[in-house]
Amino acid sequence: MDLQNDIVVRGKSYEMPFSKGILARSLMAAGLKPSIAYRIAWDIYEMLKKENIKVIDKAELRRRVYYYLISKNYDEVAKKYLLWRMVLGRRPIVILIGGASGVGTSTIAFEIASRLGISSVIGTDSIREVMRKVISRDLIPTLYESSYTAWKVLKDNYEEDNKTKYIKGFERHSEAVLTGVEGVINRCLLEGQSVIIEGTHLVPTLLKDNYLENPHIIFIMLTIYDEKLHKMRFYARGRVSSRPTERYLRYFKIIRIINEYMVETAKKKGVPVIENIKISETVDKCLNIITERLKNMIELEGLSEEDMLESV
Ligand SMILES: Nc1ncnc2c1ncn2[C@@H]1O[C@H](COP(=O)(O)OP(=O)(O)OP(=O)(O)O)[C@@H](O)[C@H]1O
Ligand SMILES: O=C(O)[C@@H](CO)OP(=O)(O)O
């Protein structure tokens, strides 16, 4: 790329070439469809070129984008764009994407991260591996199982019906992982670092209330109500990853019981539930929920749109 003929965007502590991709992604996070987001990114680039601008401050670029969106009657998008600029990079947000195995938590988490430019996505499966390094199998045998097989190593599962047993095993398995999840959340909030944590172990009734009530923590539960569609997800994944399809199909009945239980616990704790049918629709619904929650957070701080414009 011919840098000396390109436009440089100046941040507080760094400079970088103007990227239409980065600008388009932040416009998509504000709710624009990809084709329109890229066209507007091009329009902004052309506008700067026409004015022969070589270096532009990030704050000036944001103001220009905001007013350009208003001029094209994208008022709602302009507000969301402003909100995102106000929040990301200034206030840490922790997004939790829960859901039973195979409903699509990792896929959706990465899509949301890409739209919002959040660079850190952590799977609870990885946190589970860390907890397995520090907690022995004798101490918490359920931790060394999968969420849908933990019931097999319960010490106290006499005369219980199967469903109760499966759920009890799943809860014991998840509790240990959640200790690690809470540690990651604490660290991110302390460092002011936004993160998305996704996985099967994010059980709303097992997470401490101070996490559920924190305005910087936004919890969303994914589900698939249709059994056939859920099963197809494992086949689809088996074609592109080393995750053993036959294992998930063998325990599919239990995974469905866990799926149902996750939705129940989400409703109990007021965590929004989204059925993950089409990736783009799921991502848009998640972004709307996140945006609403952040709007409340900013309003709680008593900030108006003008304040946000001045401060970005
Ligand atoms: N809305 C969707 N439409 C079509 N395919 C999807 C959708 N969401 C996810 N998938 C696909 O379904 C499969 C399972 O998704 P994913 O691996 O994200 O599930 P997961 O919830 O993270 O599972 P696990 O918790 O077992 O890791 C993947 O192949 C993924 O590409
Ligand atoms: O435990 C589980 O449900 C899954 C997803 O978290 O992990 P694995 O099947 O790899 O044990």
Q: Could you tell me which residues come within 8 angstroms of residue 219 by beta carbon, excluding any fewer than 6 positions away?
A: 96, 98, 202, 204, 207, 212, 266, 269, 271, 272
Give the ipTM: 0.81
Residue 148 structure tokens: 């849908």
Rounded Cα gap, residues 47 and 177, in angstroms: 50
Closest CA to 91 of 296, 274, 285: 296
User: Strands across the sheet with 8-10, in order?
Assistant: 15-17, 8-10, 55-57
Query: Model pTM?
Result: 0.84
Ligand 2 shell residues, CB under 6 Å? 101, 125, 146-148, 199-200
Model confidence pLDDT, tens digit, residues 269-289: 999 999 999 999 999 999 999
The CA dihedral of 217, 233, 178, 254, to the nearest 10 degrees, is 130
Count of alpha carbons within 13 angstroms of residue 297, beta-carbon side = 21
| The amino acid at 213 | E
Model confidence pLDDT, tens digit, residues 141-190: 999 999 999 999 998 766 678 999 999 999 999 999 999 999 999 999 99
Atom of ligand 1 minimally distant from the CA of 99: 21
Residues paired with residue 10 on neighbouring β-strands, in sequence order: 15, 57
Rounded Cα gap, residues 200 and 13, in angstroms: 38
Ligand 1 shell residues, CB under 6 Å? 99, 101-107, 199-200, 233, 236-237, 276-279, 282
Burial (0-12, 13-18, 19+ Cβ within 10 Å), 53: middle
Model confidence pLDDT, tens digit, residues 220-263: 999 999 999 999 999 888 888 887 889 999 999 999 999 999 99
Atom of ligand 2 minimally distant from the CA of 128: 6
Q: Which ligand is nearest to the CA of 247?
A: 2
